[in-house]
Structure 1
């Protein structure tokens, strides 16, 4: 079942990457499988998508001075988004956390998923890159079984909000971003990620 917050953020993300100034470098990096450039472009796109949701965002090369300690990354999380209605004190909790994993191993992507699950946020998203959709599908199944399968019933019950894994690849078709990203949303009842 698709979560409302994930759906809203995903629409904002797609709108941001359709802009040529952000989308074109991301498309080129995807097609070239240049994962360093892909991560840099994706960071910019995720930060902008947070901003279009009216959130304050921190990420590499996107410094945020909302907290008493200004920074680009907090808790070694690639991007964090903070909603205005959660900014009552000096140390607000993030509404969203994003990990942008460019390592091609499932264990590294699983580690990124584990990291975002450890953060109290309403939206947790892990991006990863795979050369084709078949490897992305098998990765999401293995990662979900490994990480979600290790959670107790209580831990799974206590997990609030939406959790998603998004796999990017070199793209299929000529229209960006269609065919460049596949989203999988966690179904807590079924204990697995389903295509969103």
Structure 2
């Protein structure tokens, strides 16, 4: 049976259902609900702005966007966003999805925390970024009505999301905090990881091996 929430259809193709099964297997309720809210909030903002997008690719991007935080997909040395993007690309390639579509999904996931860039990319990339920003930080909060927000949150509850997501982020990359250099997740390490000292770009420049 097709599920529609706030007039947005949840994709139910074989490809979409397979991706959902992976999130169920390797994620948890926090990531399940958050990922679906990201899809819905991104799709709703796209609909409000008359943006044309591939709903299946948007949905799969949302499902994989935080899977790089999980033990199954986490690498020892890459940003969690890249781990999730690589996992999604492997999944799509294994199902014969065209390379251009796989690239779009890879970009949507890899760039979903990249402020000032992702919103200028293709619709699927920009809408994942918008959906994440809406759910995590309440960006453009008033662009959706309270009624619409309520429909989404009723279907996929927040359940104290504000206080749970930051520790969940840290759990996903506390073994490789150096990967947060130059991105917003360094703030998570600074707040929650004892003894963390962020890499400073200016020090990298001034202490480079160049003899001047």
TM-score (norm 2): 0.27
Q: Kindly indicate whether structure 1 or structure 2 has the higher relative contact order, using CA contacts under 8 Å at least 6 residues apart.
A: 2
TM-score (norm 1): 0.28
Task: Indicate the structure with greater strand content.
Answer: 1
- Is the radius of gyration larger for structure 1 or structure 2? 2
Task: Indicate the structure with greater helix content.
Answer: 2
